[in-house]
Structure 1
Amino acid sequence: MDLDLGMLVLRLALGPMLLAHGANKVWGGGGLSGTAGWFEALGLRPGWLHARVAAVTEMGAGVLVTLGLLTGPAVAAVVGLMTVAGLTDHRGKGYFVFRGGWEYVLLVAVCALALAVTGPGGWSLDAVLDLTTSGPWWGLAAAVVGLLAAGGLLAVFHRPVPDEG
């Protein structure tokens, strides 16, 4: 029961945060067009496509993590998202997030990986549906798939504009 409660607490911290980040890309201050412009400035082209892909992926992974459903695949999405964020928006800014660094995205990815390795707990849809999408191999698979997906996305779509100056 302690592990089930701990995993529920982790899922309820991580999942809604991801959902909120995705929703902010769509309905936040600048909406999708503002997010698209930000992604263009990060070198993710076309920005309109990446704004939508990131928002849907964050919201989808957030819902799955919150419910404890398809945990391993959901964590692969989180690892991919955090890797792209770390290598675009946070790269070169040091470790600490208060300086724009990659501390936050690393913590989110590692917490998600812990969830994939340990499992979502007994109070999850994976448990209710008797789905086995977590464990050490699922954690490894989520890390590898997330990193490969991020690497592929960046190899194909990341075209930063060189600094003029």
Structure 2
Amino acid sequence: MAPLFRRATRGDHPARDTAALVLRATLGPMLLAHGWNKISGPGGLEGTTGWFEALGLEPAGVHARLAAGTEIAAGAGLTLGVANPLPAAAAVGLMTVAGRTDHRGKGFFVFKGGWEYVGVVGGAAVALAALGHGRYSLDGLLRRHRSGTGPALAAAGLGVAGASALLALCYRPDSAPEGSAGPEEPGQDVP
């Protein structure tokens, strides 16, 4: 029986592999669920489109589909542990857009509509990009071990750059219907 605690040798990082697996198993399914909820939750894609219209994202129907698809793809990529740092970059981009559109100006705490949730998810995605997907992943199976500062910076940079471009091109909060933006995603209860 292997000891519970052992010193890792060069190239052998069981604790890091386990940490990456736990982080992927937390972030990935959560993003998948949020993407699926945008399609099939209460109100469905039509409700998500209305929500995005109220936020000022134009064209709202395209953004509803884009957000749902990106969350599902990023969630699947993180869960399976494939193509680091791209799924993490997608998560950072999603959280950046959400922080700028839905959570901005509402303080820190998510129960008041603040940016706490999106900040934690974005930070965890960057940390996972730095950690790498580990041995217990498709990247590990394919011997694609990308970890460290480079993947972390790539996830943060690509995510924020993509979000910034999307917001510059498509975010028109002045055109949002008055008083229609809610503090939460459709079908989600805020504690």
The bucket for the TM-score relative to the shorter chain is over 0.9
Specify the SS of the correspondent of 1:161.
Answer: helix
| Residue number in structure 1 paired with 2:107 | 94
Instruction: Return the index of the structure with the highest Cα Rg.
Output: 2
Specify the SS of the correspondent of 2:135.
Answer: coil
| Residue number in structure 1 paired with 2:126 | 113
Aligned identity (percent) is 58
TM-score, scaled relative to structure 1: 0.96
Whether 1:29 and 2:42 are equivalent positions in the alignment is: yes
Specify the SS of the correspondent of 1:69.
Answer: coil
The equivalences for 1:1-165 within 5 A come to 1-161=14-174
Q: Which has the higher helix share?
A: 1
Shift of 1:133: 3.8
- Contact conserved, 1:118 with 1:136, CA < 8 A, in 2? no
List alignment gaps of at least 5 residues for structure 2: 1-13, 180-191
- Contact conserved, 1:71 with 1:120, CA < 8 A, in 2? yes
Measure the CA separation in 1 of the matches of 2:166 and 2:178: 25
TM-score, scaled relative to structure 2: 0.83
Distance of aligned partners of 1:2 and 1:85 in 2 relative to their CA distance in 1, 3 Å threshold:
same
Distance of aligned partners of 1:164 and 1:69 in 2 relative to their CA distance in 1, 3 Å threshold:
closer
List alignment gaps of at least 5 residues for structure 1: none
After TM superposition, what 4+ stretches of structure 1 lie above 3 angstroms from structure 2?
A: 162-165
Specify the SS of the correspondent of 2:104.
Answer: coil
Shift of 1:91: 0.3
- RMSD, matched Cα: 1.4
- Contact conserved, 1:73 with 1:133, CA < 8 A, in 2? no
Measure the CA separation in 2 of the matches of 1:34 and 1:161: 20
Specify the SS of the correspondent of 2:50.
Answer: helix
Q: Deviations over 1:137-159 (max 9, x none)?
A: 01101111110100000000001
Measure the CA separation in 2 of the matches of 1:134 and 1:126: 11
Shift of 1:120: 1.2
